[in-house]
Structure 1
Amino acid sequence: MPDRPLIAVTTSARSGWRIFPLVALNLWLAGGRGVRWGTGRPADLDAVDGLIIGGGDDISPDLYDMQIVTSARLDPARDALERDLVEAAIARNKPVLGICRGAQMINVALGGSLHQDAYGTYTASDRHWTVLPKKQVQVCHDTRLAGIAGTAPMRVNALHSQAVDRLGRDLRVAAHDRGGMVQAVERTSDPFALGVQWHPEHLFYARRQRAIFAALVAAARACRTDTVQLRAVDALADEQGL
């Protein structure tokens, strides 16, 4: 449908074939439509209304001037592509949603850094490795994510070994777990950018998770008409009443 905002979705070369359909389903339910991007595929930001940086491999510490201190599965070509895409999207006022690795990439692309061994740093955090919603996170009050998904404790999945350390430019913490590990970051000014450490695409049956994709689509519609994206997202949040 031509009136649905078109959202580019970056994926891993290894797992994108099974993850992209889930993300595309969530976008469709939210009123958008998705197109898969990745290394070796066309990637023209002028042709889309928004961007999702998907999950997958760890991000190389070379991107934030650190040395590898733990074993990690890396994809340097994907790192370079996604960092460039995030930087270009922000420069062109295109909204961005980061999922797991994508949240970390938003932070790194904006000048932040990562904990390579997240659970070695946050020893009080509950360690889970599952697509099932077994990890509890707390959304921070007075954040945009709170307006989108509410502030009640949220059960999410967890499939990550890295986590946000030093925040990137214009970002703030939007959620954390009980051990203090950052679980979401968001931009404080246009364009809309939100990164969540979990995988909401697997939780499409949960209203609060669908609301995350709905916020991106609302921001993408605003981008089309060159109106304020954060205002559009706030208006959607008010309608949802979470």
Structure 2
Amino acid sequence: MARLTRLALAGHAHLIALQALVGLRLFVDDADREAFLRVLREAGQQHHVALHGYTLLDDQVYLLATPRVAEGLSLLVQSLGRRYVATYNRRRVRRGGLWDGRYRATILQPGAAVLDALVLIDSQALRAGLVTAPAEAVWSSARHHLGLLRDPLLATCDEYWRLGNTPFEREEAYRQRMLDGLGSRRVEQLTAAVHKGWAVGDDAFLAHLAEQTGRPVQPRPRGRPPKPLS
């Protein structure tokens, strides 16, 4: 079966995942993390991709981003592959890549799906057992959204703005969303969607997206289609 083209659409938020090769760490120390974020900021500016959220784990990276043009995401990841990997290898006198295959991505329907993806990203370090509270996740966008610092790397998405009329209201509303959590079913849905390349949204959004992209955006039902009634 031919591999489906990756979903990418200008002006829509995308949940993106990058995975290290088995046995490798993407980030050995804070210098690596700082270098990655520096390249990410420069590549985002160069390829007109707005970054709304991120988290850096030892062997994974999750991003929430909106490209101005559809190819912006691929160009962004290519830049990370060239420039960050070169820096990483130069520090360790090594050769070869870091990524386990292609990056994974999914398109999110504006609204609840985007906000849920942001919560997913900002709680990844907690879910992985690396911190005891999201506010401790230094290498993520969580502290920015909780009002603990201002991260110049980030462009606030509309869904976050709609949480309140003032920064304090938005931060408190987001803090409550983080405390409430997503629930295991929603976490599984978003995680499966990004790794399998299926879009997240309601039926109308998915139908419109399939028409725009010319490819399936959700897995087909199992089994044979029902026979038409005679």
- The TM-score, its normalising length taken from structure 1, stands at 0.28
Q: Which has the higher strand share?
A: 1
The structure with more helix, counted as a fraction of residues: 2
The higher-RCO structure (CA 8 Å, 6+ apart) is 2
TM-score of the aligned structures, taking structure 2 as reference length: 0.29
Mark the structure with the bigger radius of gyration.
Answer: 2
